[in-house]
Amino acid sequence: MPETTTTRTLSMQPLTREAFAPFGDVIEAAGESFPINGGMCDRFHDQARMEFTGDGRAGISVGFGRPYPLPYSFDLLERHPLGSQAFMPMTEDPFLVLVAPDEGGRPGTPIAFLTRPGQGVNYLRGVWHGVLTPLGRAVPFVIVDRIGTGNNLEEARFEAPWTVTAG
């Protein structure tokens, strides 16, 4: 069914706060700031809507993510019902960000974003998103997410894969 295949292709769009707002926060040196350290540093304050339920607390982890080639096909998204989850690269490599709106407990049509250097993301609690997908080479990411008990992972598979194109 070539027709179906065509409609299940996703182009990457630039990651902007406006477009990403329903899914989470863009973490970057942009927007309002105030000077610290005698003016040598600009602080872009408190950028993430973090939320950790139950006995959860914020933790800092590192994820060393191996790269995916483009075009990239996937049929799996996941979400974390108990907490938000932030990913900030420790290199300047752009990475792919996949999210989808919730439609009755299942992910709807995914949206693909490509980051710029200096951008990270915070997924709101319960937002459908893809796995960590650096492009080109392996990248260490700072992860700020929930440390706590309980089942904090929900996965959903699409009936047919989606493909993110390089173009």
The binding site for its own copies (CB under 8 A) comprises 27-29, 33, 36-38, 40-48, 50, 57-66, 68, 86, 88-92, 117-118, 120, 122, 131-132, 140, 142-144, 147
At its nearest, how many Å lie between its own copies and the CB of residue 155?
11
List the one residue out of 78, 87, 101, 100 whose CA is nearest residue 134. Answer: 87
Is the Cβ of residue 45 or residue 106 nearer to its own copies in the bound state? Answer: 45
Least Cβ distance, residue 57 to its own copies (angstroms): 8
Which CB sits closer to its own copies, 43 or 106? 43
- Contact between 65 and 141 under an 8 Å Cβ cutoff? The reply is yes
Q: How far is the CB of 102 from its own copies (least distance, A)?
A: 21
β-strand 106-107 against 102-103: which pairing, if any? Answer: antiparallel
Report, in Å, the least distance between residue 91 CB and its own copies.
5
The rounded distance, in Å, linking the Cα atoms of 91 and 69 is: 18
For its own copies, the closer CB: 7 or 33: 33
Least distance (Å) between residue 58 CB and its own copies: 4
User: Token pair of 78, please?
Assistant: 């996941």
N residues, the chain: 167
CA 22/CA 25 separation, integer angstroms: 9
Paired tokens of 155: 């996965």
Which of 5/61 has CB closer to its own copies? 61
Nearer to its own copies, 3 or 46 (CB): 46
Using the structure block, give the residue that is written with the tokens 């191996």. Answer: 66
User: Encoding tokens for residue 164?
Assistant: 């993110």
